[in-house]
Amino acid sequence: MNAGIRACALRRAYFRFALALAPVPVVLWLLGSGQQLTAALLFCTVLTTMMIGTLMPRCALFGRMIKQLPQACNQVLFTIDDGPHPEHTPAILDILDRHHIKALFFLVGERASQHPHLVREIIARGHEIGNHTQTHPAGTFWILHPTRLWREIADCQETLAALCPNHPPRFFRPPAGHHNLFTALIAQALGLRMMLWSARGFDGVLTDVPTITRRIAQRLKPGAIVLIHEGTPVAVEVAQTVAALLTANRFECEPPASLAFSDDEMVVERRASP
């Protein structure tokens, strides 16, 4: 990665961080002036805004993101997070083959390094790989400082690009969908577009397959981006039921590489970043 690009992205990220801290001296001044209520209101407003922008996955307050496909025909994008997995990935690939579905696998760099043959098999079967960070720090990703966040995304990009140099990731998905002030900025500097989802069944925490499938079905429509996970107790069963659901509803699950997400075609929030 070009050192100049990294330095520029980190400068912009730390500038955003400084802007986010700008209300602190104002709050302290208000407290010193005896205006406790005004100080409390300002503090709570800023904190609430930061938490909403960070912890609500589909909130694009801090940068652009893809949340669904262009409303064209009957297409749906099937995305699968947290692989590769030595047992689940081969089984899911077979399921996708049986249903003639192509998917986008968001892979964790460390796991990809442990199972490089599975990464190449995903590509060989006509699917696409995406960047899901190097170590998948789901519990702490949203509070990472810019330098560490850069390493998580850049290291995964380098790992996957080295394994499949002709098919480097185009898209990035943050763990659990949580992102902060710097995530979209750093992903963009690395040539990635941040992609979330529009239909999920919470299979990362639930184990009742009918409930998971029903939740996805309720949000399934043309242009949907469907999310499921590997590495869960019901991963293969969920993949089977969701694939069958897509087939039964006659959705077209095209190869992700054939979907051109130009700036005009992306369905994104275009709010100004702080």
Separation between Cα atoms, residue 122 and residue 117, nearest integer Å: 9
The one catalytic residue among 81, 85, 179, 203 = 81
CA-based max dimension of the chain: 70
Residue 150's SS3 state is helix
In angstroms, what CA-CA distances link 242 with 12, 189, 196?
A: 41, 34, 18
Q: Is 229 a catalytic residue?
A: yes
Residue spans of alpha helices (H) in 142-182: 146-163
The one catalytic residue among 85, 99, 136, 229 = 229
Residue 122's SS3 state is helix
Separation between Cα atoms, residue 32 and residue 128, nearest integer Å: 56
Q: Are 229 and 235 in contact (CB under 8 A)?
A: yes
Q: Are 241 and 215 in contact (CB under 8 A)?
A: no
CA angle 105, 110, 114 (to 5 degrees): 90
Q: Is 81 a catalytic residue?
A: yes
In angstroms, what CA-CA distances link 170 with 66, 71, 243, 255?
A: 12, 20, 24, 13
Separation between Cα atoms, residue 236 and residue 180, nearest integer Å: 31
Is the link from the previous residue into 137 a cis peptide, with omega within 30 of 0? no
In the numeric block, which tokens belong to residue 216? 């996805």
Residues 225-240 as b/e (b if ≥16 CB within 10 A, e otherwise) read bbbbbbbbebbbbbbb
User: Catalytic residue positions?
Assistant: 81, 229
